[in-house]
């Protein structure tokens, strides 16, 4: 193991496994991450999804493996609202 990065990675394995096991067991007992999965447990009838895709840029030689602030699967993270619902009860 001549790679400095590899040595650091190996030395970090101990603390990381301790934290990881604590976190895993804590969530197994306390279930703080659980809630009603209404996204997949509610009866939803959808019309076909419509939309558009336009190429706007190219990235060359980035070292990032993902897009910044990827929230494709973070369905409950709210982003800027373009309009408030006008039919909300007064």
Partner 1 sequence: MSSAKPPPPPPPYTGPGSPRDVPPLPGASPIDPATLPRPIRDELTAPDPVAIDTAAEELKDGQNHCPKCGSTEIRQKTGTDLLVCVYCRHQWHATRVEEKFGLGTGLDQLEGTIIASGAQDIAADSESLMSYECTGCGAEVTVNTQTTMTARCHWCRHVFGVNEQVRNGAVPDAVLPFRITKDDAVARIRQFVDKRRMFALKAFKEEFTPENVVGVYLPYMIVDGKASAEVIGQGEIETRRYTRGSGNNKKTYYDADVYQVERRLDFTVDDLPLESSSERGNLDTGRNTNNIINTILPFDTKNAVKWNASYLVGFNSEKRDLDVAHLHPRLEDQLLSIARAKVEPSVDRYDRGVRWEQEGLDVHGTRWVSMYLPVWLYSYQEPGGKGSLLHYIAVNGRTGETMGSVPVQQWKLLLAALTVGTIVEAIALWIVVAVS
User: In this structure, are residues 27 and 19 in contact, taking their beta carbons and an 8 Å threshold?
Assistant: no
Cβ 6 to partner 1 shortest distance, Å: 9
Residues 31-60 as x/- pattern, contact with partner 1 by CB under 8 A: xxxxxxxxxxxxxxxxx-xxxxxxxxxxxx
Rounded (5°) CA angle 67-68-72: 65
Cβ 77 to partner 1 shortest distance, Å: 6
Cβ 89 to partner 1 shortest distance, Å: 5
Cβ 84 to partner 1 shortest distance, Å: 8
What is the b/e burial string over 12-42, where b = at least 16 CB atoms within 10 angstroms of the residue's CB?
Answer: eeeeeeeeeeeeeeeeeeeeeeeeeeeeeee
Q: For partner 1, how many residues bind (rule: CB under 8 A)?
A: 81
Looking only at residues 55 through 84 of this chain, which bind partner 1 when binding is defined by CB under 8 A?
55-83
Looking only at residues 1 through 20 of this chain, which bind partner 1 when binding is defined by CB under 8 A?
1-5, 7, 10-11, 13-15, 17-20
Q: Which of 60, 56, 80 is CA-nearest to residue 69?
A: 80
């Amino acid at each position: 193991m001549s790679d400095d990065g590899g040595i650091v990675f190996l030395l970090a394995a101990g603390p990381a496994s301790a934290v990881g096991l604590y976190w895993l067991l804590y969530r197994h007992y306390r279930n703080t991450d659980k809630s009603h999965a209404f996204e997949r447990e509610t009866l939803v009838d959808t019309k076909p999804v419509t939309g558009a895709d336009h190429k706007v840029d190219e990235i060359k030689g980035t070292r990032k493996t993902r897009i910044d602030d990827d929230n494709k699967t973070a369905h409950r993270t709210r982003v800027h609202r373009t309009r408030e619902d006008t039919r909300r009860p007064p």
